[in-house]
Amino acid sequence: MTRPQVIIVNSESLTQAQPHEIGEIWVKSESVANGYWNNPQATQQTFNACLADTQEEGFLRTGDLGFLKDGQLYITGRLKDLIIIRGQNYYPQDIEWVIEKCHPDLCFNASAAFSITVQREEKLVVIAEVKAKNNHQNNLDKVITKIRETVAEKHELSLYSVVLIKSGQIPKTSSGKIQRHACRQKYLQGTLQYIKSFTLSDFESNRQEEIIVSTTPNEEILVGIWQKLLNLESIGVRDNFFELGGDSLIAVKMLNEIEKEFKIELSLETLFLKSSIEVLAIWITQQQMQSFTSEELSLIMTKILEK
Which of 205, 235, 261 is where one domain is finished?
A: 205
Total number of domains in the chain: 3
What is residue 1's predicted lDDT score, i.e. its pLDDT?
61
What pLDDT, on the 0 to 100 scale, is given for residue 203? 59
Task: Examine the domain organization and report whether 222 and 301 are in the same domain.
Answer: yes
pLDDT at 88: 85
- pLDDT of the residue at 283: 87
pTM strictly above 0.95? no
Please indicate, yes or no, whether residues 219 and 277 belong to a single structural domain of this protein: yes
3-state secondary structure of 81: helix
Quote the distance between the C-alpha of residue 9 and its chain's center.
Answer: 25
Q: Which of 302, 270, 305 is nearest to 286 (CA)?
A: 270
Its domain, for residue 44, covers: 5-78
In a shared domain, residues 225 and 155: no
Q: What pLDDT is stored for residue 229 in this prediction?
A: 87
- The answer to whether the CB of 73 falls within 8 A of the CB of 83 is no
**Residues 194, 214 within the same domain:** no
CATH number, domain at 246? Answer: 1.10.1200.10
For residues 10 and 25, the answer to whether their CB atoms sit within 8 Å is no
pLDDT at res. 213: 64
Q: What pLDDT, on a 0 to 100 scale, did the predictor assign at position 276?
A: 82
User: Which residues does residue 113 pair with via DSSP β-bridges, in sequence order?
Assistant: 126
Q: How far apart are CA 257 and CA 262, in angstroms?
A: 8
Q: What is the pLDDT along the chain (307 residues), one digit of tens a residue?
A: 678 899 999 988 999 998 889 999 999 998 888 889 999 898 998 999 999 989 999 999 999 999 999 889 999 888 899 998 888 889 999 999 999 999 999 999 999 999 999 888 889 999 999 987 766 777 898 899 889 888 887 888 888 899 999 999 999 998 888 999 999 999 999 998 899 998 876 655 555 545 666 678 888 899 889 888 888 777 888 887 877 777 777 888 888 998 888 888 888 778 777 778 888 888 888 887 776 555 655 665 565 555 4
